[in-house]
Structure 1
Amino acid sequence: MTLSLPPLADRRMVLATDLDGTFLGGTDDDRDQLYDWLRASRDTVGLVFVTGRDPQFIAELCGDGRVPWPEYVIGDVGTTIAEVRDSAIHPIEPLEKEISQAWGDLGHRVRDTLKDRSGLSLQQTEFRYRLSYDMDPDALDPQAKHEVEAMGADVLISDNRFFDVLPRGVSKGPSLIRLIAHLGLSPNSVLAAGDTLNDLSMLVAGTPAVAVGGSEEPLLDQLPQRPTIYRAEAIGAAGIVEAISAFDLHPDHLDA
Structure 2
Amino acid sequence: MLIRRQNMDPVFTLATDLDGTFLGGSEMERQSLYNWIEMHRSVVELIFVTGRDLPFIEGACAEGIMPWPDFVVGDVGTTIAVHDWNTNRLTPDDALEAPIAALWGDGVADIQDHLDAAPGVEPQDVVFRHRMSYHYDPEHFDPATQKVIEAAGFDCLISDNRFLDILPKGVSKGPSLLRLLEARGRARDAVLVAGDTLNDLSLFETGLKGVAVGNSERGLLEKIAGRENVHVAQYHGAGGVLEAIDSFGFADTVARAIETEMEVPA
How would you bin the TM-score normalised by the shorter chain?
over 0.9
**When the two structures are superposed, what TM-score results if normalisation uses the length of structure 2?**
0.91
Q: Which residue of 2 aligns with 1:59?
A: 58
SS at match of 2:141: coil
**When the two structures are superposed, what TM-score results if normalisation uses the length of structure 1?**
0.95
**Is this contact kept in 1: 2:70–2:83, CA < 8 A?**
yes
**Is this contact kept in 2: 1:244–1:253, CA < 8 A?**
no
SS at match of 2:232: strand
Q: Which amino acid aligns with 1:233?
A: Q
Q: Aligned partners of 1:253, 1:160: CA distance in 2, in Å? A: 37
Identity of aligned residues (%): 46
Q: Aligned partners of 1:58, 1:6: CA distance in 2, in Å? A: 25
**Is this contact kept in 1: 2:120–2:136, CA < 8 A?**
yes
How far residue 108 of structure 1 moved from its aligned partner, in angstroms, is 1.9
2:85 matches 1:74: no
Q: Which residue of 1 aligns with 2:142?
A: 141
* Cα pair distance change 1:8/1:139, threshold 3 Å: farther
Q: Which amino acid aligns with 2:72?
A: V
Aligned pairs (5 A) from 1:1-256: 4-6=3-5, 10-85=9-84, 86-251=87-252
Structure 1 stretches of 5 or more lacking a match? none
SS at match of 2:129: coil
Q: Aligned partners of 1:48, 1:106: CA distance in 2, in Å? A: 27
How far residue 224 of structure 1 moved from its aligned partner, in angstroms, is 4.2
Q: Give runs of ≥4 in structure 1 deviating > 6 Å.
A: none
- Write the deviation string for residues 126-179 of structure 1: whole angstroms up to 9, x where unpaired: 100000000110000110000000000000000001010000000000001000
Q: Aligned partners of 1:106, 1:8: CA distance in 2, in Å? A: 40
- Write the deviation string for residues 203-230 of structure 1: whole angstroms up to 9, x where unpaired: 1212110000010000000014233211
Q: Aligned partners of 1:98, 1:223: CA distance in 2, in Å? A: 28
How far residue 34 of structure 1 moved from its aligned partner, in angstroms, is 0.5
How far residue 239 of structure 1 moved from its aligned partner, in angstroms, is 0.2
**Is this contact kept in 2: 1:120–1:136, CA < 8 A?**
yes
Structure 2 stretches of 5 or more lacking a match? 256-266
SS at match of 2:45: strand
SS at match of 2:234: strand
* Cα pair distance change 1:40/1:29, threshold 3 Å: same
SS at match of 1:39: helix
RMSD: 1.7
SS at match of 1:185: coil
**Is this contact kept in 1: 2:11–2:254, CA < 8 A?**
no
How far residue 249 of structure 1 moved from its aligned partner, in angstroms, is 1.3
**Is this contact kept in 1: 2:11–2:253, CA < 8 A?**
no
* Cα pair distance change 1:7/1:23, threshold 3 Å: farther
How far residue 9 of structure 1 moved from its aligned partner, in angstroms, is 6.2
Q: Aligned partners of 1:106, 1:65: CA distance in 2, in Å? A: 35
**Is this contact kept in 2: 1:106–1:153, CA < 8 A?**
no
* Cα pair distance change 1:9/1:148, threshold 3 Å: farther
